[in-house]
Structure 1
């Protein structure tokens, strides 16, 4: 799928914005990310730390793929959108349990953050051409 220069700039920007927190998962922000692990997961410190590390590794890989794997950018955009959907329960858990992390120290701030998840999903899909791909594919299935 062909993408515009603007889409490519935003794709690369989103890639960078994925790599940086991914590094934080593995290093200096690990405790903050632990606060976002959903409370319904097993309360085992080693398991919870694994969840944080694994999601950090995925963020780094997806971020690098957004930047460099241009031949597969539609698939990468779809994968990143799915990742954002999969981590949403952690954001929801942080809100519903009133857990402060990353400066989100009020219910209002935690609630507002929830509304940015759809923005990130759309950003991943639009900047990689995946949104156009999905529309085109739907039209083909409808015979238009």
Structure 2
């Protein structure tokens, strides 16, 4: 007899699918229509640390977002690992959000200091969303 699906499980699956869509959309934005705006968020130290120019960093992060989003949907058996990886990715790009806020550089949807400051609080929400919707701490 199969274990019944709980409402919380249904919500988690929905949250995971929405997160996947968000990651793919944002990844595509990194590669196409908002590429220049994302370059603004790359801290000046990042090219020195990685050996990549700002555009390559934006392209690489966009590709990672697309892969994470696709993997959340295509590889449900690996959702815990992918969720933990997505959470780590959100932590890794946080310095870009701080850099953008501290330098006051505008980008699409982040044209004011207030918007850039509020954006900082979205990152912990994304980390929590990735972890809650995939449950890397739960037993298999």
Q: Same fold (TM over 0.5)?
A: yes
2:100 is equivalent to residue 100 of structure 1: no
2:92 is equivalent to residue 110 of structure 1: no
Residue 39 of structure 1 and its aligned partner are, at CA, apart by 2.1
- Write the mapping of 1:118-133 to structure 2, written as runs, cut at 5 A: 118-130=124-136, 132-133=137-138
| Structure 2, unaligned runs of 5 or more | none
Q: Which moved more, 1:10-19 or 1:96-105?
A: 96-105
Q: Which residue of 1 aligns with 2:81?
A: 75
Structure 2 CA distance, aligned partners of 1:89 and 1:42?
13
Structure 1 CA distance, aligned partners of 2:92 and 2:46?
14
2:65 is equivalent to residue 59 of structure 1: yes
Instruction: Report the number of matched residues.
Output: 130
Structure 1 runs of 4+ aligned residues shifted over 4 Å read none
Q: Which residue of 1 aligns with 2:45?
A: 40
| Structure 1, unaligned runs of 5 or more | 137-144
Structure 1 CA distance, aligned partners of 2:132 and 2:106?
31
2:25 is equivalent to residue 20 of structure 1: yes
> Structure 1 length as normaliser, TM-score?
0.85
Q: SS in structure 2 opposite 1:41?
A: helix
